[in-house]
Amino acid sequence: MTNFFARPFGHEPLITKEDMARNKQANKKRADNMGGTLKRIWQFMRGERKRLYFIISLVVVTSLLSIVGPFLVGRIVDFYFIPREFDGLFRILMILLASYVLLSVTTFIQAFLMVGLSQRTIYNLRYHLFEHMQELPVTFYDKRQHGELMSRMTNDIETLSQTMNSSFIQFTTSIVTLLGTFSVMLYLSPLLTFLTALIIPILIVSVRFITKRTGPLFKMRQRRTGEMNGYIEEIVSGQEIVKVFSQEERAVQNFEVRAKNLREVTFWANLYSGFIPKIMNMLNNISFTIVAGAGGILALTTNGVVTVGTIVVFAEYARQFTRPLADLSNQLNQVLSAIAGAERVFQILDTPAESNDGKITDKTIEGHIEFKDVTFSYSKEQHHPTIKNLSFEVNSGESVALIGATGAGKTTVMQLLARFYETDKGQILVDGENIKDYSRSNIRSQTAFVLQDPYLFEATIRENIRYGRMDATDDEVVEAAKVANAHDFIMSLEQGYDTVLDLDEGFISQGQKQLISIARALITDPAILLLDEATSSIDTITELKIQESLERLMKGRTSIIIAHRLNTIKAVDRIFVLEQGEMLEAGTEEELLKLEGKYHDMVNQ
């Protein structure tokens, strides 16, 4: 027997029997999660609840007005058209017209208010999400694709926004209309009401069958959308590498796999959710046929028990009775999709923020650094620590270079000093205090970084330099640029310091970007300076230009430099040679050359 869940575009099942079994076992947990997610969304609406209650009151009025219209039409047929009575007809027609006009006005007002309410709520949620993302540790971003995180920030929140805009009003309207219509139908004819209600069991069974499958599919769709967005962001960011290695075809093939995965899960999600209006339409027609047939027979065989006007009212109410049920079913699908997106957003909000609770919050750092038997691994699965029993000392104002092969642990040393990560064993002391006792903001505010790959924002050069210290004056910005030897090339640009860096155009070189980032570090006047192969992206001529600037920059500051070029290494006081996370050699260049060890071999090579 063909598996109904088999992919229409391949042979692998989209949802296996095992998946369905797991989904069944997780039903209760999912219901709890759904309730918890809705409760958390409700918390974000705290400031909007009075408006929400007013909107609900408008929804009730609108729903009742939608019931009044057909009822008045039935009265007009029974008391005016059939007996050909025109006295009072104009008045009731005006009442009917007024009810429809008022219905339109209240519908517009409630929609207008709901859009504003939902957008303010979504703004609140989006703001808190972005704010929380700034407080998350670097480890959080290391383990996730940036495009996938952007998908949560945009697609998932937008899905929730659309659902709040439309589904809440529709959901409330459907419930009020359903109850009101049923009450009036029961008042007019209990027998016809009973016959109309025969479709409800069919509806319940159908909707239950569909929603059990659409819930997991919507979650899978959100996840696969994030995966595809993450891959797109990755390929667009690395487009130069893709072209250099002629991997365009492979990139397209990998994208095709992700796009097909998304297409297939979207196919099934939309197919199942699309069944609901079709079923509703079928039940609507069945209900109309029952009302018309049974009502006609009762009107002909009974004496006024069921009138023609009642049949007219019931024909309309039969549609109004099934329409809210259909709307509830459709909105349930949208709500499930929105909840799936909201859960992904709340997963980020539930991630613990980076702690900043060190007891030392405003100490001026001199820059004395000591590593004491430090061991660190990036993950528990890592077989060998990145750093193992590492010990060294850097005096205040001293400059040292870290050298060694790739993977020796050089960059890890800097990341530990910045408290991006915490040590597994051992201690890092800054001015004699455990670095864990410093608040992260205190350490980082007095430490400047110049990374191997300079990152600049799409803003003016002046703003990019001032990013190191936002209260810096224009003169201080210029002075920092001069020390970094960036002033001359900046002034050669048409707009000078007001030139907006459009990172897509690439009108400045990688080396010039690095000079700007060095100026950004200079303006902070740091106690500790960390240079992670800061000259690796700079050509030889530019490197010679900034050697003197770097020496001035390092003077009086504790400086730790990762560098492969000997020109940079010669400017430091001592050199530490690392190998597989351990200290292999340490000393001045002269001492290491006399030692004729690893450093001596590296120089000769």
Provide the domain count of the chain.
2
pLDDT at residue 11 is higher than 60: no
Within-domain flag for 219: yes
pLDDT at residue 524 is higher than 60: yes
pLDDT of residue 12: 43
pLDDT of residue 514: 82
313-326 pLDDT, tens digit per residue, is 777 777 766 677 66
Amino acid at 91: R
DSSP of 51-95: HHHHHHHHHHHHHHHHHHHHHHHHHHIIIIITTT--TTHHHHHHH
Q: How far is 165 from 186, CA to CA, in rounded Å?
A: 33
Q: How far is 348 from 353, CA to CA, in rounded Å?
A: 10
Within-domain flag for 222: yes
Mean pLDDT of 539-549: 66
172-188 pLDDT, tens digit per residue, is 887 887 788 788 778 77
Paired residues of 371 in beta bridges: 392, 428
User: Which own/partner contact pairs does 286-290 have at CB distance under 8 Å and 24+ positions apart?
Assistant: 286/199, 287/196, 287/199, 287/318, 287/319, 287/321, 287/322, 288/315, 288/318, 288/319, 290/195, 290/196, 290/198, 290/318
Check which CATH number belongs to the domain holding 401 and give it. 3.40.50.300
Within-domain flag for 22: no
> Do 340 and 373 belong to one domain?
no
pLDDT at residue 343 is higher than 70: yes
Position 430 confidence tier, pLDDT thresholds 50, 70, 90: very high
**C-alpha distances in angstroms, 350 versus 136, 346, 525?**
10, 6, 36
- Final residue belonging to a domain, choices 349, 382, 413: 349
pLDDT of residue 539: 63
Length of the chain: 605
- Final residue belonging to a domain, choices 296, 321, 349: 349
Within-domain flag for 34: no
> Do 321 and 255 belong to one domain?
yes
Higher pLDDT, 503 or 569: 569
Q: Tell me the residue range of the domain where 562 lies.
A: 369-604
**C-alpha distances in angstroms, 151 versus 83, 86, 255?**
65, 63, 16
> Do 143 and 239 belong to one domain?
yes
pLDDT at residue 406 is higher than 90: no
Within-domain flag for 10: no
Within-domain flag for 126: yes
> Do 97 and 199 belong to one domain?
yes
Within-domain flag for 555: yes
On the 0-12 / 13-18 / 19+ scale of CB atoms within 10 A, 461 is buried
pLDDT of residue 93: 86
Residue partners of 324: CB distance under 8 A and separation at least 6: 173, 174, 175, 177, 178, 181
Going by C-alpha positions, the residue among 358, 7, 316 that lies closest to residue 188 is 316
Mean pLDDT of 77-84: 73
> Do 340 and 420 belong to one domain?
no
Position 543 confidence tier, pLDDT thresholds 50, 70, 90: low
> Do 562 and 428 belong to one domain?
yes
> Do 333 and 405 belong to one domain?
no
> Do 329 and 420 belong to one domain?
no
> Do 598 and 496 belong to one domain?
yes
Range with the lowest mean pLDDT among 267-276, 470-479, 545-554?
A: 545-554
> Do 304 and 434 belong to one domain?
no
> Do 296 and 376 belong to one domain?
no
470-517 pLDDT, tens digit per residue, is 888 999 999 989 888 889 889 998 899 999 887 655 678 877 888 888
Higher pLDDT, 575 or 168: 575
pLDDT at residue 26 is higher than 60: no
Within-domain flag for 259: yes
> Do 154 and 290 belong to one domain?
yes
Position 15 confidence tier, pLDDT thresholds 50, 70, 90: very low
Bridge-based pairing of strands 387-394 and 369-376 is antiparallel
* Upper half-sphere CA count for residue 151 (Cβ side, 13 Å): 22
Mean pLDDT of 376-387: 82
Check which CATH number belongs to the domain holding 239 and give it. 1.20.1560.10
- Final residue belonging to a domain, choices 318, 349, 380: 349
